[in-house]
Structure 1
Amino acid sequence: MRSPFRGLPREVAVLVAVAFAVALGFGVVAPAIPLFAREFGVGRAAAGAVISAFAAMRLASALLGGRLVDRFGERKVLATGIGIVAVSSVLAGLAQTYAQLLVLRCAGGVGSAMFTVSAFSLLLRVVGPGQRARATSLYQSGFLLGGVAGPAFGGALAGASLRTPFFVYAVTLAAAGTIGMVFLRRPPAAPGAGAAGAEPVTVPEPTTLRRSLSSPAYRAALVANLSVGWMLLGVQAAMLPLFVVEGLRREPFWAGVGLVASAGTQAAVLLPAGRFADSTGRRPAMLLGGSLALASVTTLVVTAFTASPGSVASVVAFVVAMSAFGAGFAFLSTAPAAVVGDVAPGRGGTSVAAFQMAGDLGSMLGPLVAGLLADAASYGAAFGSGALVLLAGLLLTVAMPETRGGQGARRAGEDARD
């Protein structure tokens, strides 16, 4: 069986291993965070604020992380970011007050932003244009597998002690940092250098965010990533379980079936989606992914408005929609990221940071807007908000130029000079 890493620079496999270790640890600690906060006698809103604070600090510090990458390089920022999260996790496990826990989770958010921006920037820089989407799909697979495996251990650890998961998280971060320091020590070659059949590409000068924003393709990638955060990381987790129980009048078991169908399909389609975006083009991949995702969410909207309580047909439609949902977001998790690498092929820390911020913003706004619409109107209206964001991204994709092969970087540079 051919290795999925065949022909890719060594850094890709290293970054996938780092991503898996980080996601595994986060999956372990995530179930314990709100429960641990409640141990200090605070309400549910305050417990949720601990999670929101981490996400808010990631969003607020992403551009800073991008500037640090442009100035000091990916490896130093990656190691520093992982170190900050590891130390803050240990201290959070030792926290004696709610305020201490909140501050330490904020610090962890800063470190997380530094790590993700630097790792993703390095990933996009060391591969050639014909490999970016495949490398991104492997990187996302590392996060996906770690995120699935982590909660399985986290629940058991939290049952024994709510402090233990924080220490386990620090251990997995230390493992990730060690992998990075040991195997990412040598300077990277030019993108694709040393890889069989890779394209010889020289590393250009750092790309500014202003220059990237002049590219229609980069703007389409930003909105596409906003939709990923809005639906995949936000509405899916916050609204779908409630919709199954309260809207479809079915047991929570079916919510789990839908989420597993989505995650399983996404995992199965990620690598083929990456290969498709590299061989056929970013624009066709984004059009296909956006269309699948929009069709699935539209199905959820129709189901929400027409479902009869307990209807078997509605449950079947829900599961089918979730499968298409996962397939669509497999394409939207790879092709837009490859566009960022095409438009900012050098050290583009701020461009990568803005791309990450779009996803984080979606994951913060999605549950809030969908929740307000569900309370004020219906679940159909809540899902409709996600459909509108997906539609906006799809329209921008229709109008964007193809960037595979470096056209995006050249056009952005020409627009910036004009």
Structure 2
Amino acid sequence: MTGMTGMTGRQRLVLVVLLAAQFMLAVDFSILNVALPVIGQGLGFGLGSLQWIATAFALPAAGFTLLFGRVADLFGRRRVFLIGLAVLAASSLVGGLATSPELLLAARVAQGLATAAVTPAGLALLTTAFPEGPLRDRALGLNGALMSAGFTSGAVLGGLLTDLLSWRWAFFVNVPVALAVLLVAPRLIAESLPQPSAGGTPMAGKARMDLPGAVTVTGGLLALVYGLTAAGEHGWGNPLALGALGLGAALLVTFWFVERGAASPLVPVRVLRRRTVVWGNAAGLLAFATETSLVFLLTLYLQRVLGFSALATGLAFGVLGAGTVLGGVVAPRLIGRLGSRGALLAGFLVQAAATASLILLGTDRAWLGLLLAATFVGGVGNMLAIVGFMVTATSGLPDEEQGLATGVATMTQQVGITLGTPVMSAVATAAAAGGTVLAGVGWAIAVNTALVLLAALTSALFLRRR
């Protein structure tokens, strides 16, 4: 693999193990989407409660990722990584064997918590295994490519397993992969406890968890994600959605003030003030929000306007997956030439041009050619931006804070994925109220393009080299 050139044999093995875990987590995000109706019939979920199968996973996956990223910094990334994988294997087994809605939802909550632990810890192990520079850029590029391939293949794999075997295999498939990583990882990956203090005492021995910070940020993120999910389901005027969003905003503002006065802050304010952290994550938020919501809009177009089946729609998005994999492979070379800021700008501009072309889509199936070409090119651009964001958001920080940096980046990813679809759904619904589904999709694609251009503009202005 060309992306592994210059790595030692041990680094290659570490990379393979960590990428296998991240790929499995990416698959987990999308593998159940196709199977939801079948699961509902099999276990007796009502139509209104079916979305909780996804929400029960998304809430802890987003809400606890920052906390677990910092816990990994303080108490050992390998330890948190392995515990999270063990919980993922066990909860996947329970989910596959579930005989009631309550047991399945409990398994989904446990899977979300495991993902919140494994993702930032695994990314921190990845960034600290390679020095900042070309090798780390290659590792993050391959991680981005496989993450995107996992999202795409999860839907296809979920459909195949559900049709050929049972929806239960969408859970069972995690178990052997997690067990294999659990067996191999302890032999390859060294523990990464904090460095000793000046007096020679290990920091982990006297590390204190910032409980007020942990409670406010986790509660704020849970309320924010719940509010976004409720808004997507019931509309932006729903009192419960607005209340949850207001509570989330209030708790996150409280978190900022708590951290300013904390003796051992969960997230040091100096980190939150870094340009690369603030504006890198702002770019990442828009990168994830725009591309995931574009998939939602194009699903509406393919099925409601052109009349394609769910299977044909899923296959059409395979082209997008191929584009993102190519973007992940190309990104490290581009970063080597242009820097992470240059890769962000190039990626967003390519994505914006490709997305803007989709405004031209019409009611004839001949437009499918434009859709496939634009999603492929847009996928390349989006992955360039995502890898650029990940390199930007984790650079310039010492190894002992990489769990924090990857925790913030993972939180950004989760919130972006959650945020995009309800926002674009609201735009499309409002625009379609006086016209057609195609008109609604067209207006939402225009707004999506504007957001990508906004991401390019903020990156150009606020990530300038000193």
With the length of structure 2 as denominator, give the TM-score of the two structures. Answer: 0.74
Superposed displacement of residue 163, structure 1: 2.3
Aligned partner letter, 2:442? G
Residue 299 of structure 2 corresponds to 241
Distance in 2 between residues matched to 1:81 and 1:271, nearest whole Å: 28
CA–CA distance in 1 between the matches of 2:50 and 2:405?
Answer: 33
Determine the structure 2 residue equivalent to 1:142.
Answer: 146
Displacement of 1:347: 2.6
* Cα offset, 1:140, TM superposition: 2.2
Aligned residues: 381
Indicate if the aligned counterparts of 2:17 and 2:181 stay in contact, CA closer than 8 A. no
Give the structure, 1 or 2, with the largest relative contact order (CA under 8 Å, sep 6 or more): 1
- CA shift in 2, pair 1:156/1:289, >3 Å: closer
Deviation at 1:150, TM superposition (A): 4.9
What's 1:261 paired with? 319
Change (3 A) 1:174 1:251: closer
**Does the 8 Å contact 1:258/1:323 carry over to 2?**
no
Structure 1 residues 209 and 328 mapped into 2: Cα distance closer, same or farther (>3 Å)?
Answer: farther
Q: Sequence identity, in percent?
A: 24
Partner secondary structure for residue 39 of structure 1: helix
- Unaligned runs of 5+ residues in structure 2 are 196-264, 432-439
Q: Which runs of structure 2 are paired with 1:98-117 in the superposition (5 Å)?
A: 98-117=101-120
User: What SS is found at the alignment partner of 2:4?
Assistant: coil
Per the TM alignment, residue 51 of structure 1 is displaced from its structure 2 partner at its CA by: 0.8
Report if aligned partners of 1:19, 1:176 keep a CA contact under 8 Å in 2. Answer: no
Residue 294 of structure 1 corresponds to: 352
Q: Which amino acid aligns with 1:346?
A: D
Q: Distance in 1 between matches of 2:123 and 2:409?
A: 10
Give distance in 2, aligned partners of 1:370 and 1:269.
24
Alignment pair present for 1:218 and 2:277: yes
* Residue aligned with 1:347, SS: helix
- Corresponding position of 2:459: 397
Q: Counterpart of 1:360?
A: 414
Alignment partner, residue 427 of structure 2: 373
Question: Cα 1:358–1:385, aligned 2, differ >3 Å: closer, same or farther?
Answer: farther
The match for 1:69 is: 72
Distance in structure 1 (CA, Å) of the matches to 2:445 and 2:286: 12
Asked if residue 5 in structure 1 is aligned to residue 63 in structure 2, the reply is no
User: 5 Å matches for 1:119-268?
Assistant: 119-131=122-134, 132-159=136-163, 160-185=165-190, 208-232=267-291, 234-248=292-306, 255-256=313-314, 258-268=316-326
Comparing 241-250 with 314-323, greater Cα deviation is found at 241-250
TM superposition score normalised by structure 1: 0.82
Q: Tell me whether 1:329 sits opposite 2:352 in the alignment.
A: no
Which is worse superposed, 381-390 or 322-331? 381-390
Aligned residue for 1:42, secondary structure, equals: coil
**What's 1:303 paired with?**
360
1:39 aligns to 2:75 (yes or no): no
Q: Distance in 1 between matches of 2:168 and 2:46?
A: 19
CA, structure 1 residues 385+67, in 2 after alignment: closer, same or farther (shift >3 Å)? same
Instruction: Give CA deviations for 1:92-140 in whole Å, capped at 9, x if unaligned.
Output: 2222221221122012101101100101112122222212321101122
Q: CA deviation at 1:22?
A: 4.4
**Alignment partners' CA distance in 2, 1:158 and 1:260:** 19
8 Å contact kept, 1:303–1:318:
no
Check whether the contact 1:258–1:322 (CA below 8 A) recurs between aligned residues: no
1:262 CA drift (Å): 1.6
2:138–2:332: 8 Å Cα contact kept in structure 1?
yes
Mapped pair 1:316 → 2:364 = no
What does 1:74-89 correspond to in 2, within 5 Å?
Answer: 74-89=77-92
**Kept after mapping to 1: 8 A contact 2:145/2:326:** no
Give the secondary structure class of the aligned counterpart of 2:43. Answer: coil
